[in-house]
Amino acid sequence: MTHSTTVLVIGGGGTGVGTARDLAARGVDVTLVDRGGLGSGTSGRSHGLLHSGARYAEADPEGAAECIAENEILRDIAGHAIGDTGGIFVQLADDDPDYFDAKLAGCREHGIDAEVIDGDEARERVPELSDSVERAMVVPDGVIYPSRLVAANAQSAADHGARVLTHAPVEGMSVADGEIATVEVGGKANETIQPEYVVNATGAWAGECAAMAGVDVEMKPTKGVMVGVDYEGLGPVLNRCREPDDGDIVIPHKTQVVLGTTSVAVDDPDEYDEEQWEIEKMFEECAAMMPTLEGREAARTYWGVRPLYAPDEAGRGSKDSGKGNERGISRGFFLLDHAEEGVDNFASVVGGKLTTYRMMAEATADHVAEILGVDAESITAEERLPGVDDPEELDGLVAKYSARQPADEDVVVDRSDAAAADD
C-alpha cells in the first residue's frame, strides 16, 4: 500500500507528537509514525520534571527563560498531564553557598519566582529533609506525566486531521533528485509513504534515522537511571543545590517518589548495561537530602537515554570507561535543515527537554510551514489539550496510543482492556 502525505513526522515522543499537533492545527496534512507505542523512547523514560528553569538559572540563561515560559503554558493547557507540586532546592552543609547565591540571582534575573527560607522553615514545610539542610530555595517546579502528555498531544493532532500510526517502524528511505521520495514503514502500518517533507524527531535515535537518507547527525546519547520507591506524602520536588551530578533530584508521585539520575555515555541507545552501582548511587545521594530513603527498597527501576546532540564532542572523556563530561553537553535543542547536506525536504530536531517540547515543536513547525508556504501560525500555546480535565479520559487516550510508559506507570491507570474493547 502506498500513502501520500504532506509532512511525515518520524518519532512519537514529546517533540514528535507536538510537531504533528502544531502542523495539523495549521491545516497541514500530517502523518506521524513511531516504531512502538507513543513515548516509548526518552519521553516516557524520563524523570518527568516540569522545570521552572531554576536548574539552569546560573549557567544557561536562555534555557532557564524557555523553561519558565513553557512551565506556565503547560499549567494552562495540560491539566492532569502535570502535577503542580512546587519544588525546592536545598543547600546542605557540604554544598557551596556561592552556587546557591548564583542560582538565586539567576532566578530573579529571568523571572523565576524564588523564595529563600532557612533550614528550620524548610523542615517545617518538608519534614523529610535532612538536618544538614542549611537553607532552601522554593521555586515553581512541578511534575510531568509523560504518558498522558504525549497521548493528549497525539489526540489533538488526530482531532486536527493527522494520521497517528503506532507500532510502525521506519525500515528504509529512498532519496531521488535531492529529496526523500519514499519511506518504507513496517509493523502494523506496512506501507510506503510518499512525503513532501520529513521531520526526524526520533531523539537519541536521530543518527540512525538520518543515516537512512544518507545524512550524518552526530548524537552522543547518555543513559540515566530512575528508581521508584514506595513513599506517600512528599510534597515538592527536591533538588540538591549544587552543580548537576548523580542523584540530585527526588520527584514526588502519589504513592511513590522517583530518584534520579546518572549520566553515562552509551554507544547504542537500544543496548547498554543497566548497572547496580547506578541504583545504589541514587539511594546514597538522594538520602543525603531525605534520610527517610535509607533502607528502602526499589519498587521499580528504569533507564532512559538522553538525546544529546554533540557534533564537537568527539574525544570527550574515556570511551572505555563511558565516563566523560557528558553533563557538560548542551541540553538545548537544535533544528537541523538537511538541505545543506543535499536532502532538501528533510530536517531533524534533536536535544532539548521535555518541559520545552511544545516550544521545540512550534519552532520545527514554523520552519516546515515556511518551506511549504503555509501562512497559519501556531495555536498550541493557547489551545488546551483534549481530555486533560479528566484523568480517566486521559488514561483512556494513553491506552489508545499504547503510550503507558515507565515514567508514570504508578500514576496512569491501565485501561488497555477498555481500549481494546472500543476497537
Q: Are residues 151 and 33 in the same domain?
A: yes
Q: Are residues 116 and 247 in the same domain?
A: yes
Please check whether residue 315 lies inside any domain of the structure: no
Q: Are residues 226 and 135 in the same domain?
A: yes
The per-residue pLDDT string of the chain (423 residues; one tens digit each, 9 = 90 and over) reads: 999 999 999 999 999 999 999 999 999 999 999 999 999 999 999 999 999 999 999 999 999 999 999 999 999 999 999 999 999 999 999 999 999 999 999 999 999 999 999 999 999 999 999 999 999 999 999 999 999 999 999 999 999 999 999 999 999 999 999 999 999 999 999 999 999 999 999 999 999 999 999 999 999 999 999 999 999 999 999 999 999 999 999 999 999 999 999 999 999 999 999 999 999 999 999 999 999 999 999 999 999 999 999 886 433 332 233 333 344 445 678 999 999 999 999 999 999 999 999 999 999 999 999 999 999 999 999 999 999 999 999 999 999 999 999 999 999 999 987 766 665
pTM of the model: 0.94
The residue from 246, 276, 306 where one domain ends is 306
Number of domains composing the chain: 2
| 374's grid cell | 503555509
Please check whether residue 56 lies inside any domain of the structure: no
The H-assigned helical ranges of 26-90 are 61-77
Q: Are residues 20 and 128 in the same domain?
A: no
Q: How far apart are CA 318 and CA 320, in angstroms?
A: 5
Instruction: DSSP for 377-421, please give it.
Output: PP-TTTSPPTTTT-HHHHHHHHHHTT---GGGTTTS---HHHHHH
Please check whether residue 273 lies inside any domain of the structure: yes
Q: How far apart are CA 74 and CA 67, in angstroms?
A: 10
Among 215, 210, 198, smallest CA distance to 372 is for 198
- Enclosing domain of residue 35: 2-43+146-219+327-420
| 116's grid cell | 529563600
Please check whether residue 30 lies inside any domain of the structure: yes
Cβ atoms of 95 and 245 within 8 Å: the answer is: no
Please check whether residue 60 lies inside any domain of the structure: no
Q: Are residues 118 and 179 in the same domain?
A: no
